C-alpha cells in the first residue's frame, strides 16, 4: 500500500483525521487540552490531512485547529468547508457566492492561515445553481484564498456539472461497509475525472468497531439519535452483522476498526478515509490500519456480510435526506 495518497495536488497520509467530533455532533466534546493533545499526537504519528468545517461547533472547530496546528502549518494539508454554517444558533445551508466568500474570510482568521488547501462546498444549496457556488469557489482559488475546490454529499451528475465550471479536486461523502451509496456512481465518476474520494464516517459512526452496544445511552445532542440505523430495534439487528466481520478480523490479525479502514483502503488508491475520534488510543489504532493486508477472499466475505441489503435502517431521516444530493439505493 502506498505510503501517501493523492488529494489533488497534495500528497497526504492514507488515513487523515476528521476533526468534527472534537467540537460537535456526538455529545459533550473533549476538553480543549485533550482535543489539542489528540491533534498534536496525530501530527506526530504522521497524519498530514486534517479536515474541519465552519459548521463544526459553529466555528469552534476551525478555531481549535487554528490555535493548535497553526505553528505547524507547513507540515499538513488543511481542508475545511463552507455552505453550511451556524446562524443565530441554527444550522443554515446557504450556497450564495457572497456567503461562501464571507465564510472563507472568517475561516481564514479562525484557522490562523493565509490559505486553505482544500475548501469544500459542505452541502449544495439547491436554491442556487451548483455552477454559481462552484464559480465563487473558483474565484477564491484565483484570489489565493484557497488552493483547491471540493464538494460534499453530491451525486455523480452534480459532480460533472461542477467539474465543467472548475476542477473538483475532491468529493467527500460517507462511505463504509454499511454505507455503500458511493458505489452506485460517484466512486467511478471520481476515478474518471481524477477527483479524490474522501470517505467520512469510515467506521460507521462507531458501529463497525463493535464497542458501541447501547444506543439508548446517547447524549441528548448526539446526532445519531435522529438516524434510523441507530434506532434501538434496527441497531440490534445490525449488531448481528458484526459476528461474521469479527471472524475476518481475527483471521487478518487486526481489530474491527482496523479491518473497516483497511477494507476502504483496498477499494482504490483514490479513496482517503478520515475517521474522527476523541481518543488517542483509538487514533493510534486507526492509523495502524495501513499495515493490514486483506486477501481477495476476505474482501469478498466482507462485501457479502455487510452491504445495503443487509443493513437495517436508512442513513438519514427524511428531513435530512432532502438536504443531500447523493444517489440512494
56 among known catalytic residues: yes
Comparing C-alpha atoms, which of 228, 276, 221, 226 is closest to residue 25? 221
CA dihedral 180, 185, 190, 191 (to 10 degrees): 90
Comparing C-alpha atoms, which of 62, 60, 145, 131 is closest to residue 101? 145
The CA distance from 110 to 292, in Å, is: 37
The CA distance from 123 to 196, in Å, is: 17
Q: What DSSP string describes 179-238?
A: B-GGGTTHHHHHHHHT-EEEEESTTGGGTTTS----GGG--TT-GGGG-GGGSHHHHHHH
Comparing C-alpha atoms, which of 201, 229, 203 is closest to residue 215? 229
Are the C-beta atoms of residues 293 and 253 closer than 8 Å to each other? no
The active-site residue, picked from 26, 56, 119, 316, is: 56
Return the sign of the alpha-carbon dihedral for residues 205, 207, 208, 214: positive
Burial class (CB in 10 A: 0-12, 13-18, 19+), 114: exposed
Cell numbers at residue 156, please? 455523480
Are the C-beta atoms of residues 125 and 96 closer than 8 Å to each other? yes
Are the C-beta atoms of residues 20 and 73 closer than 8 Å to each other? no
Provide the 8-state DSSP code for 176: B
If you search the block for the grid coordinates 472547530, which residue do you land on? 61
Catalytic residues, by residue number, are 56
Amino acid at each position: 500500500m502506498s505510503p501517501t495518497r493523492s488529494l489533488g495536488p497534495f500528497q497526504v497520509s492514507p488515513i487523515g483525521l476528521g476533526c468534527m467530533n472534537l467540537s460537535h455532533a456526538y455529545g459533550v466534546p473533549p476538553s480543549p487540552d485533550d482535543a489539542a493533545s489528540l491533534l498534536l499526537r496525530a501530527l506526530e504519528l504522521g497524519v498530514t490531512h486534517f479536515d474541519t468545517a465552519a459548521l463544526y461547533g459553529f466555528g469552534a472547530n476551525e478555531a481549535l485547529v487554528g490555535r493548535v496546528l497553526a505553528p505547524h502549518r507547513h507540515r499538513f494539508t488543511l481542508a475545511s468547508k463552507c455552505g453550511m454554517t451556524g446562524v443565530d444558533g441554527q444550522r443554515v445551508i446557504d450556497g450564495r457566492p457572497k456567503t461562501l466568500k464571507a465564510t472563507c474570510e472568517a475561516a481564514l482568521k479562525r484557522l490562523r492561515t493565509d490559505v486553505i488547501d482544500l475548501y469544500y462546498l459542505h452541502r449544495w444549496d439547491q436554491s442556487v445553481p451548483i455552477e454559481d457556488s462552484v464559480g465563487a469557489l473558483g474565484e477564491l482559488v484565483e484570489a489565493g484564498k484557497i488552493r483547491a475546490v471540493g464538494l460534499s454529499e453530491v451525486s455523480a451528475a452534480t459532480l460533472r456539472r461542477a467539474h465543467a465550471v472548475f476542477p473538483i479536486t475532491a468529493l467527500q461523502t460517507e462511505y463504509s461497509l454499511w454505507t455503500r451509496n458511493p458505489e452506485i456512481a460517484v466512486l467511478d465518476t471520481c476515478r474518471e475525472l481524477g477527483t479524490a474520494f474522501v470517505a467520512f464516517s469510515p467506521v460507521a459512526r462507531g458501529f463497525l468497531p463493535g464497542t458501541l452496544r447501547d444506543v439508548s445511552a446517547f447524549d441528548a445532542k448526539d446526532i445519531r439519535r435522529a438516524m434510523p440505523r441507530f434506532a434501538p430495534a434496527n441497531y440490534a439487528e445490525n449488531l448481528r452483522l458484526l459476528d461474521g466481520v469479527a471472524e475476518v478480523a481475527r483471521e487478518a490479525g487486526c481489530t474491527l476498526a482496523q479491518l473497516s479502514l483497511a477494507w476502504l483502503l483496498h477499494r482504490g488508491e483514490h479513496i482517503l478515509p478520515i475517521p474522527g475520534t476523541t481518543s488517542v488510543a483509538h487514533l493510534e489504532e486507526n492509523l495502524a490500519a495501513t499495515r493490514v493486508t486483506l486477501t481477495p477472499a476476505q474482501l469478498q466475505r466482507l462485501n457479502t456480510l455487510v452491504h445495503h441489503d443487509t443493513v437495517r435502517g436508512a442513513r438519514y431521516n427524511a428531513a435530512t435526506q432532502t438536504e443531500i444530493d447523493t444517489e440512494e439505493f
